[in-house]
Amino acid sequence: MKKVYIKEDVCIGCGLCEVYCRLKHSRSKDLVKAYKKETPRPLSRLRVDESGIVSLSVRCQHCDDAPCIGACLTGALSRDPSTSLVIVDEERCIGCGTCTLVCPLGIPKLDTAQKKMVKCDLCQDEEIPVCVANCPNEALLYAEVEEALT
Amino acid sequence: MVATRKIKYLIIGNSAGGIGAAEAIREVDKAGAITIVSDEPYPTYSRPLISEYLAHPYPVEKMVYRQSDFYEKNKIKTLLGEKVIQVNPDKHTVKLENGTTLVWQKLLLATGGTPIFPEMEGNRLKGVFTFNKLDDARAIDGFLNQYRNRVRAVVIGGGLIGVSVTEALLRRGVEVTVVEMKDWVLNTILDEEAADFEAQALVHAGTNIITGHTAEKINSYLPGEVSGVTLDDGRVLSCQMAIIAIGVQSRLEVVAESGIKINRGIVVDRRMATSAPDIYACGDVAEAFDFVYGVNRLTPVWPNAYEGGRVAGLNMAGKPAKYQGGTAMNALKYFGVYIASAGLVTPPDDSYQTLINRYDGIYRKVIIKKGKLAGLVFAGDIEKSGIVYNLMKDGVDVSSFKEALVADDFGLASLPESIWKDRLESSPPEGVPVITSIEKPEELVIGD
Ligand SMILES: Cc1cc2nc3c(=O)[nH]c(=O)nc-3n(C[C@H](O)[C@H](O)[C@H](O)COP(=O)(O)OP(=O)(O)OC[C@H]3O[C@@H](n4cnc5c(N)ncnc54)[C@H](O)[C@@H]3O)c2cc1C
Ligand code: SF4
Ligand code: SF4
């Protein structure tokens, strides 16, 4: 399974990962429009948490023992058998936020306009996630874990 | 009639707890016969969605908790619309209302809860409802469909279920009055300040809220039909329907004479096992370990039912598992107001410390005892509530960074490095090839 790892010691907190993530999830795919004009406002699936000199680019880790799946009130969250990713069925999600409350990283984000939860899917339609591709400091690593180990 | 073939795993209850158990059993035992019995005639559905159903109405297919091939794929036999009337622990049997006796090897009681229905004058009238299952929502829907004019309803009880039905009724154009005995709505899951966010939204949406009073009787002018509700101060609220939502109790009737240890619910250990051999319980019917109180309590919420069911299922299938514990926890979004709470919401005495922050319409509160978290309330923005919830669940000593938990810029980086490192996978295993970029960053499109 593929994962994004963070090298926090080289992350300078520039926030470009967040910018590109939001752009990726905008309809216009235009930076200015995505930030200023689009409604509903496109949301970044990742978050940069900062404190002092520490910056952490945090996204869904697709946990092995994902507590969000068991907590989901509607059955909208599940593990995709082919990619092993934790995915959300937008049709069934009601955006209640129960998954946000049980996630150790507080990741699931509520799109209040659409009344849905949104979360990182590692950019399934891209070669590599846009955050990783556009980090100027190579602070994000994309690695295929099990395959490399076996 | 006695079924001769023994069922390896018999599960009573086809909801969060029962499904959690069945899924866990199938992870360990691919073939052992599983049967799920429920007196509700539907495939497993998300109970909290009954308010969506009533509001729209919402297509039943969107309410299903698992895909339609779930039972077949997992080789689960279902007896839906069948009621269990008695459990016999010694003989390892259960008796169904239709006369059948089923023999089992391992039994799970995931019978959930049932609305508390007070002895009150008028409680049997047409137009009096509870709100706990799909058929309740259907009955209310059918009732509303008879009326052309605006219907008035009194919701007795301002807890989660009362607020849930109120939202649905308002969306159906019903005029609603909520009567709450205590000083504020949602008082078991929210403190006064967070509840006020919700109360304001309710009022804004047109609800009339009466707190500090109870309903004394339901009145009837036309024989058999509701005409109003009389409160304890003599006030009369005229209405055509009354919803009783004063609380839920564990559904214990099947074990009443079984000798299984019961307190307010069925008492279970950390394996979710009851006092009787081979019998497990979970969900709203079970009193399981609460990690905030450190004792067994009822914590009737969906995630705990699923997790308890999962632990029960693993143990039933022979794989030892321990329930880490659950606590009362809820994420709410009624009327577009986002609130999350878990554990204690108001400190019971002054041995607890409370930290609060308010900014930009956001409210954050944590309750701490002896360095450890005992409760949280996040209103307005609930993102990151999970970070705090998990610190509480893991019993982390937060003394050295407690102020950060409610700060405006709270995030993972606010925690000590050892904690966030533990939560983030910050380096791939040795020797794994990593990608950091494709050839070159794409060109940014800026403006028109
Ligand atoms: C309107 C509403 C809103 C809610 N909102 C939330 C929310 O936002 N968040 C949250 O966490 N929780 C919420 N809940 C609570 C949540 O639904 C319950 O905690 C959860 O359903 C408990 O699951 P369970 O498996 O223990 O039992 P239940 O879901 O109660 O299922 C038990 C099943 O067993 C069947 N059964 C019982 N006895 C017998 C018998 N003798 N024979 C055959 N079958 C039997 C019952 O008919 C039922 O189908 C809400 C509940 C309601 C009603
Ligand atoms: S949402 Fe949170 S709990 Fe769920 S898989 Fe992602 S990181 Fe894990
Ligand atoms: S927000 Fe959506 S995915 Fe999360 S628990 Fe609620 S229904 Fe499930």
Are A51 and A73 within one domain? no
3-class DSSP state for residue B291? coil
Identify the CATH number of the domain in which residue A86 sits. Answer: 3.30.70.20
- Per the structure, the complete domain to which residue A71 belongs is given by 63-110
Contact assignment for A30 to B447 by CB distance below 8 Å:
yes
Are A91 and A54 within one domain? no
Are A72 and A31 within one domain? no
User: Looking at residue B194, what is its pLDDT?
Assistant: 97
Q: Is A74 in the pocket of ligand 3 (CB under 6 A)?
A: yes
Number of domains in chain A: 2
Give the residues across from B331 on adjacent strands. B340
The radius of gyration computed from the CA coordinates of chain B, to the nearest angstrom, equals: 24
Q: For residue A68, give the ligand nearest its CA.
A: 2
Q: In what order do the strands lie in the sheet with B266-267?
A: B266-267, B286-290, B295-297
User: Looking at residue B329, what is its pLDDT?
Assistant: 98
Domain-located, residue A148: no
User: Looking at residue B432, what is its pLDDT?
Assistant: 76
Instruction: Please say whether the beta carbons of B247 and B257 come within 8 A.
Output: no
Identify the CATH number of the domain in which residue B303 sits. Answer: 3.50.50.60
How many A from CA of B216 to the centre of ligand 1? 28
Nearby residues of A75 by Cβ (< 8 Å), 6 or more positions away: A89, A92, B46, B64, B65, B66
Can you say how many angstroms the Cα of residue B422 is from the centroid of all Cα atoms in its chain?
30
Number of domains in chain B: 3
Q: Is A73 in the pocket of ligand 3 (CB under 6 A)?
A: yes
Average pLDDT over every residue of A49-68? 95
Q: Which of A89, A93, A118 to probe ligand 3 with, by most ligand atoms within 8 A of CB?
A: A93
Compute the CA torsion angle A110, A96, A76, B82 (nearest 10 deg): 180
Domain-located, residue B30: yes
What residue's CA is closest to ligand 2, atom 6? A60
Are B136 and B182 within one domain? yes
> Which among A71, A72, A73, A68 has a CA at the least distance from the CA of A104?
A68
Distance CA B411, CA B414 (A): 5
User: Looking at residue B363, what is its pLDDT?
Assistant: 98
- Per the structure, the complete domain to which residue B286 belongs is given by 7-45+65-113+250-316
User: Looking at residue B52, what is its pLDDT?
Assistant: 95
Average pLDDT over every residue of A61-80? 96
Are A124 and A54 within one domain? yes
Domain-located, residue A115: no
Nearest chain A residue to B303 by CA distance is: A71
Burial class for B345, CB neighbours closer than 10 Å (0-12, 13-18, 19+): buried
Distance CA B129, CA B312 (A): 33
Contact assignment for B46 to A73 by CB distance below 8 Å:
yes
Q: H or E element: which one contains B170? A: helix B160-171
How many A from CA of B112 to the centre of ligand 1? 5
Q: How do B152-156 and B175-180 pair as beta strands? A: parallel
User: Looking at residue B431, what is its pLDDT?
Assistant: 75
Tell me the pLDDT of chain A averaged across its residues. Answer: 92
User: Looking at residue B440, what is its pLDDT?
Assistant: 54
Are B166 and B137 within one domain? yes
For B102-127, give one letter per residue: b (16+ CB within 10 A) or e: bbbebbbbbbbbbbeeeebebeebeb
Domain-located, residue B283: yes
Walking along chain B (448 residues) 10 residues at a time, the average pLDDT comes out as 78 98 98 98 97 90 94 98 98 97 98 96 97 98 94 98 98 97 97 97 97 97 96 98 97 95 98 98 98 97 98 98 98 95 97 97 97 98 97 97 96 96 81 73 57
Using an 8 Å CB-CB cutoff, list chain A residues near B422: none
> Which among B171, B169, B194 has a CA at the least distance from the CA of B330?
B194
User: Looking at residue A150, what is its pLDDT?
Assistant: 36
Domain-located, residue A146: no
User: Looking at residue A149, what is its pLDDT?
Assistant: 43
Are A75 and A106 within one domain? yes
Q: Is A117 in the pocket of ligand 3 (CB under 6 A)?
A: yes
Are B216 and B283 within one domain? no
What residue's CA is closest to ligand 3, atom 5? A72
**With 80 as the cut, is the pLDDT of residue A148 above it?**
no
Are B376 and B284 within one domain? no
Closest CB to B303: pick one of A71, A127, A133.
A71
Using an 8 Å CB-CB cutoff, list chain A residues near B340: 97, 100-101
Both structure tokens of A18: 């967040």
Q: Please give the sequence-ordered ranges of beta strands (E in DSSP) within A39-147, or none if there are none.
A: 47-51, 54-58, 77-79, 86-88, 109-111, 116-118, 140-144
Compute the CA torsion angle A92, B200, B117, B260 (nearest 10 deg): 60
